[in-house]
Amino acid sequence: MTNVFTTWSDKLLPGPFEVVQDGGGMGLDSLGRRWIGGPAAYGLEAVGMLAMAMPIAIVGIIGSPTRRRRILYGLAIVVLLAGMFATQRKTALIAPVAVIATLAYFRRRELLMLAPFGLVVGVMVAAVSPSAVHNVVAQFTRSDAGSVATTSERAADYDAIRPDLFTHLVFGRGFGSYNHASYRILDSEILTRSIETGILGLAAFLLIPISVILVARKTVSARDPRWAPAALCGVSAAVCMLVLATLYDVMAVPHVPCVFLYLAGLTVAVVGLGSEAEPPPERHEHTARVHRRPQRPVHVVRERVRTG
């Protein structure tokens, strides 16, 4: 099977964007996956950036008044999903599911109405990147999915940091003091924050995305068409950030934190504007009938014409 996304990447993504892969098949990990980073240094970074951008397209479909705009947003979702699956990382399936689950929590009815459209998008993604989608799904369905190196090593990290964690439980051993080259690579930002900054540092780190969710939740629930869509995208990005921080050391690479903080800043600005702005005017039929000039009966008009 041919992965069209990676085959046509040079033509579809000119300029600074580049999909990097080892065509000779030498750059393989323990699961036989190629090293594909895209515009980032690692595939996990690319997945994080694309997953945080996906809510913009989905929310755009919900609020689009025309079919043409819905189709364009749908094509954008296809490209984003195909790009994530092209990295062949298991996070390419987990991160979009987290984003869609967040959107479904706040917009259940709208997403249910888009279910047929989502089925079409899924078919298109499978057609664009058939081998990539199959390889990612197979990593979850294989018989030894729980014992492969990418899973067992992450599970072993929890026992490995236990002595240092209990020794410096509150404040940690110091920011930047854990050397991955001397000890082991911790494939989770949650574990890294715990061992370096302790429980207090971990709580402070988690409060960054959680605060975005708490601040924007009221704006999202208000459903104001001027501010709610942007706030919903920020909430989805915050949930995605929490998931990614659990799956790998997200702060060790610059792209995903930069994208998240950018979206978080926009979300806070939108919430601030929404709280200061007046509510949008509501139009009701009974109000329109009250202010409408009453029409006189036809016979009265004719009588006035005759007497005039």
- Dihedral angle sign, alpha carbons of residues 250, 148, 19, 12: negative
Local structure of residue 34 (DSSP, 8 states): B
Burial 16-31 (b: 16+ CB within 10 A, else e): eeebbbeeeeeeeeeb
List pLDDT tens digits, range 163-191.
888 888 999 988 888 877 677 878 889 99
Name the CA dihedral angle for 59, 61, 85, 220, rounded to a multiple of 10 degrees.
Answer: 10
Strands (E), 67-196: none
Output the pLDDT for position 290. 45
Q: What does the pLDDT read at residue 17?
A: 62
pLDDT of residue 123: 92
Q: By the 8 A CB rule, do 75 and 8 touch?
A: no
In order of 88, 143, 164, 167, the CA distances from 131 in angstroms are 9, 19, 42, 47
- Confirm if 190 and 245 have CB atoms less than 8 A apart: yes
Q: What does the alpha-carbon distance between residue 286 and residue 189 come to, in Å, rounded to a whole number?
A: 56
Q: What is the mean pLDDT of residues 213-225?
A: 93
Beta-carbon contacts of 121 under 8 Å, excluding residues fewer than 6 positions away, are: 74, 77, 78, 81
pLDDT value for 304: 53
pLDDT in tens, 41-99: 788 899 999 999 999 999 999 988 899 999 999 999 999 999 999 888 899 999 999 99
Q: Which residues of 239-272 are buried (b: 16+ CB within 10 A; e: fewer)?
A: bbbbbbbebbbbebbebbbebbeebbeebbebbe
pLDDT above 90 for 18: no
CA 293 to chain centroid, in Å, comes to 51
Contact 274, 306 (CB under 8 A): no
d(CA 85, CA 90): 8
Q: What is the full DSSP assignment across 196-214? A: HHHHHHHHHHHHHHHHHHH
Closest CA to 90 of 144, 28, 132: 132
Distance of alpha carbon 206 from the chain centroid? 17
244 token code pair: 């990614």
Q: Determine the pLDDT at residue 119.
A: 92
The pLDDT of 202-231, averaged and rounded, is 94
Whole-number average pLDDT of the chain = 83
What pLDDT sits at residue 142? 82
